Amino acid sequence: MIHEYDTAIVGGGPAGICAALAAGKNGLKTLLIEERTFLGGQLIKQTHRFFGSEEEHAGTRGIHIANDLKSELEGMSNIDVMTSTTALGYYEDGILTALHDEKMIKIKPKSLVLATGAFERFLPFENNDLPGIFGAGAVQTLMNIYGIKPADKVLMVGSGNIGLIVSYQLIQAGVQVIGVVEAASKIGGYLVHASKLRRLGVPIMTRHTIKKAIGTDKVEGALLCELDKNWQEIEGTQKQMSCDAICLAVGLTPLADILSQMGCETTFIGELGGIVPKRTADLETTKAGVFVAGDLAGIEEASAAMLEGELAGLNAVKFVTGDERVTERIHHLKEELHGLRAGPVGEKIRYGLAQLFEDSVITSKKIESHEHDITRLAHTGIPSQENIDEKLPDEKRMIKPYAVIECFQEIPCNPCVISCPFGAIYIPKEDINQSPIVDFDKCTGCTSCISGCPGLAIFVEQRNPEQRKGTVSIPFELLNRPQKGDVVELLARDGQPIGTGVVKRILYGQKQDKTAVITVETDIDLVNKVRNIQLQRTGKKEVM
């Protein structure tokens, strides 16, 4: 038999689910197929809160977004979901074959949305196939889906968002990360993620690469070297590090095989991740009625994938029914996407899309860095004192609690604005890409914003010059959470110990959603230096 549908969606990640919801809510008989046993794609491996705006679920952890989307799907009777189902091929008679329930089934959809996502790149170095070398996705799958510790000591290769986030997740899972290696001269991912790692004591080695994995039957270490400006090894810079696993996070490539087999035209655009489909701004490929969304359309953040999914789904609705009522929403989604990509971190994707749409105005310009004055931060993950000073109120104001937002890079994100009950945080020009600013006249130092920040980049300080003491409140989402009254070791932005302090308050309720807000009291001079704490090995409660 042949299963007929108005639209079939291949891939049950964020883009595919949003496409299915958009199609289903507008009355299409919809089929969503997903290769894995579960829906959610990469979302279900994401323990961090999402960046972006409220519309893309910003401030919510990926795992929770996945659950929200799944329960929305469950309520839709006109959407059939087939998990453990692999799309096998698309044929000239419009039949999509899929492996489902140990059968090769035939599906005839009137329109198609491909949201097959991406796969991880591999890296050539000596012994790159040794057991213990894992893709970042594999590491995330093991620890975040199955709850299995991937290794004891891991070297991360790649400092894009995936490399940085997975490193942090490894530490959350109790794994030691011995360092992050990055061949470029600057950290690739969001700098707030890098700062998060640095204050946990993880070195980020820019302009370094892995030469060789050491070991016979499994990884025992890695040989690294430094690179010059031409990406060549600098003699005499080899160094060996001991580890039991090497995690590769060197980028993603769109999974375009079924798409090109279908005869949709593709093109190579490095900025979008490799071979990508040619498609319109409405995400329609060169084959009428075949749409793409998510990483397949170009590697981007999950927030963009969700918007694209809905956009593709609505365009499928328009294609099948001719219904114009979705047009307004389509227009809105395109504006949202435009907004997400408008800032400096969106430059690569803008440049890639300009090549796709042959926009010579943009492609004639070379990508330049607009990141002013954050050079040290971009190289090391640690902001300079000048950067930090800009974020502080004047000295008189410091006797009352105030928020310090150590967010220096223009990234599309605004949960801090929403989290503040006093309206004290604002983003200039209402441009989601601008860095947030604290209005110290309104800020009460209530710490609401601390656990709301996806980058864990907000701290609340207060200084008491008379007693030469002060307090600092920090976000904390690791194991071995200290208790009130504990004497803890205080760590600076580079993870180095700088003294001790006493835990005065812990907020760990529903509102914090597992990101504890811990307030420690310490010496006044350390207030602006403390960015992490850890239980002292012998640390016992202070005598109260």
Partner 1 sequence: MREDDIIICRCEDVTLGTIRELIRQGYTTLEEIKRIARCGMGPCQGKTCTPLIAREIAAITGKGIHEIMKQNHRPPFGGVTFEEIVSGRDEE
Partner 2 sequence: MRIREHPILEFERGKKIQFTFNGNKIEAYEGETIAAALHAAGIWHYNESDVLKRPRGLFCAIGHCSSCLMTVDGVPNTRICVTDAVEGMVVKSENRGDIK
Partner 3 sequence: MKSKADIVIIGGGIIGCAVAFNLAKKGMRNIVVLEKGFLASGATGRCGAGVRQQWGTLQNCLLAKESMTILENISDYLEEKVDIELKQRGYLLLSFSEKETEQFSKNLQVQHSLNIPSRALTAEEAGEIVPILNTEKVHSAAFCPTDGHANPFLTTEAYAKAAEKRGVEICTFTQAKAIKTENGKVKGVQTDKGYIETGRILNAAGGWAYEIGEMVGLKLPVFSERHEILVTEKVPPMLDPMVMSFSYNIYCQQTPNGSFVMGHGPKNEKPGHNVNSTWQFLEAMAQKVTYLLPDIKKVRVVRQWAGSYNISPDRQPIICESEQLPGYYMAIGFSGHGFMLGPSIGVYLSELITGETPSYDVTLDLGRFARNESIAEPSVV
| Count of CB atoms situated within 10 Å of the CB of 152 | 11
For partner 1, the binding residue among 64, 70, 211, 469 (CB under 8 A) is: 211
119 vs 422, beta carbon nearer partner 3: 119
Q: Between residues 85 and 167, which has the closer beta carbon with respect to partner 3? A: 85
Nearest-approach distance from CB 241 to partner 2, in angstroms: 19
User: Would you list the DSSP string of 486-525?
Assistant: BEEEEE-TTS-EEEEEEEEEEE-STTTTT-EEEEEEEEGG
Sites of contact with partner 2 (CB under 8 A): 35-37, 47, 61, 63, 119-120, 129-135, 137-138, 141-150, 172-174, 216-218, 477-479, 481, 514
Q: Read off the DSSP letter of residue 107.
A: E
Which listed range, 62-70, 89-97, 184-192, 475-483, lies at the site for partner 3 (CB under 8 A)?
89-97
User: What is the distance between the alpha carbons of residues 519 and 505, in angstroms, rounded to a whole number?
Assistant: 5
Q: Which of partner 1, partner 3, partner 2, none is residue 287 near (CB under 5 to 8 Å by kind)?
A: none
User: Are 195 and 387 contacting, i.e. CB atoms less than 8 angstroms apart?
Assistant: no
The DSSP code sequence of 414-437 is: -HHHHH-TTS-EE-GGG-TTSPPE
Q: Which does 92 bind (CB under 5 to 8 A by kind): partner 1, partner 3, partner 2, none?
A: partner 3
106 sits near partner 3 (criterion: CB under 8 A): yes
What Rg value do the Cα atoms of the chain yield, rounded?
24
Q: Which partner in partner 2, partner 3, partner 1, none is near 36 (CB below 5 to 8 A by kind)?
A: partner 2
Partner in contact with 387, chosen from partner 1, partner 3, partner 2, none, beta carbon below 5 to 8 Å by kind:
none
Per DSSP bridges, beta strands 245-248 and 458-464 are unpaired
CA–CA distance, 536 with 347 (Å, rounded to integer): 44
Smallest distance, Å, CB 181 to partner 2? 18
Upper half-sphere CA count for residue 474 (Cβ side, 13 Å): 27
Q: How many Å apart are CA 429 and CA 450, to the nearest integer?
A: 23
For tokens 């001079």, name the residue.
525
Q: How far apart are CA 296 and CA 119, in angstroms?
A: 10
Q: What DSSP string runs through 176-214?
A: EEEEEEESSSS--S-HHHHHHHHTTT--EEETEEEEEEE
Please give the residues from 20 up to 49 whose contact with partner 3 meets the rule CB under 8 A.
none
CA atoms within 13 A on the CB side of 132: 23
Strands 30-33 and 487-491: unpaired
Instruction: Give 143's DSSP letter.
Output: I
84-92, 195-203, 446-454, 513-521 -> range binding partner 3 (CB under 8 A): 84-92
101 binds partner 3 (CB under 8 A): no
Q: Which stretch binds partner 1 (CB under 8 A): 89-97, 452-460, 488-496, 513-521?
A: 89-97
Selected range binding partner 3 among 88-96, 132-140, 401-409, 487-495, rule: CB under 8 A: 88-96
Q: Which tokens hold the place of 131?
A: 């057991």
Task: Answer yes or no whether residue 86 interacts with partner 3 by CB under 8 A.
Answer: no
**CA 79/CA 23 separation, integer angstroms:** 9
The site partner of 253 among partner 2, partner 3, partner 1, none (C-beta below 5 to 8 Å per kind) is partner 1
Q: Does 104 bind partner 3 (CB under 8 A)?
A: yes
* Nearer to partner 1 among residue 270 and residue 423 (C-beta): 270
DSSP conformational letter for 238: -
Could you give the CA distance from residue 290 to residue 279 in angstroms, rounded to a whole number? 10
**Smallest distance, Å, CB 2 to partner 3?**
10
- CB closer to partner 1 out of 95 and 388: 95
Write down the least CB distance from residue 261 to partner 3, Å: 9
Of 18, 87, 407, 411, the residue at the interface with partner 1 (CB under 8 A) is 87
CB 20 within 8 A of CB 9: yes
Q: Read off the amino acid at residue 466.
A: E
Does 270 contact partner 3 by CB under 8 A?
A: no
User: Is residue 84 at the binding interface for partner 3, with CB under 8 A as the rule?
Assistant: no
Nearest approach, Cβ of 489 to partner 2 (angstroms)?
18
Q: How far is CA 336 from the centre of its chain?
A: 18
Asked whether position 268 contacts partner 3 by CB under 8 A, the answer is no
Q: In whole angstroms, how close is the CB of 283 to partner 2 at the nearest point?
A: 24
Name the minimum Å distance from CB 82 to partner 2. 15
- Is residue 89 close enough to count as binding partner 3 by CB under 8 A? yes
Q: Measuring CA to CA, which residue among 288, 372, 282 is closest to residue 112?
A: 288
> Binding partner of residue 126 among partner 2, partner 1, partner 3, none, CB under 5 to 8 Å per kind?
partner 1
Residue 442: left (phi > 0), alpha (psi -120 to 50), or beta? alpha
User: What CA–CA distance (Å, rounded) separates 52 from 41?
Assistant: 19
Number of residues interacting with partner 3: please give it, by CB under 8 A.
8
* Out of 91, 108, 431, 439, the residue judged to bind partner 3 by CB under 8 A: 91
Kindly state the helix (H) or strand (E) to which residue 320 belongs, with its residue range.
Answer: helix 302-321
Residue 363 binding result from partner 3, partner 2, partner 1, none, given CB thresholds of 5 to 8 Å by partner type: none
Q: How far is the CB of 246 from partner 2 (least distance, A)?
A: 11
Of residues 103-122, which lie at the interface with partner 1 (CB under 8 A)?
Answer: 103-106, 119, 121-122
Q: Which residues bind partner 1 (CB under 8 A)?
A: 1, 35, 86-91, 97, 99, 102-106, 119, 121-122, 124-129, 211-212, 253, 255-258, 260-261, 267-270, 274-275
Q: Which residues bind partner 3 (CB under 8 A)?
A: 89, 91-93, 95, 97, 104, 106
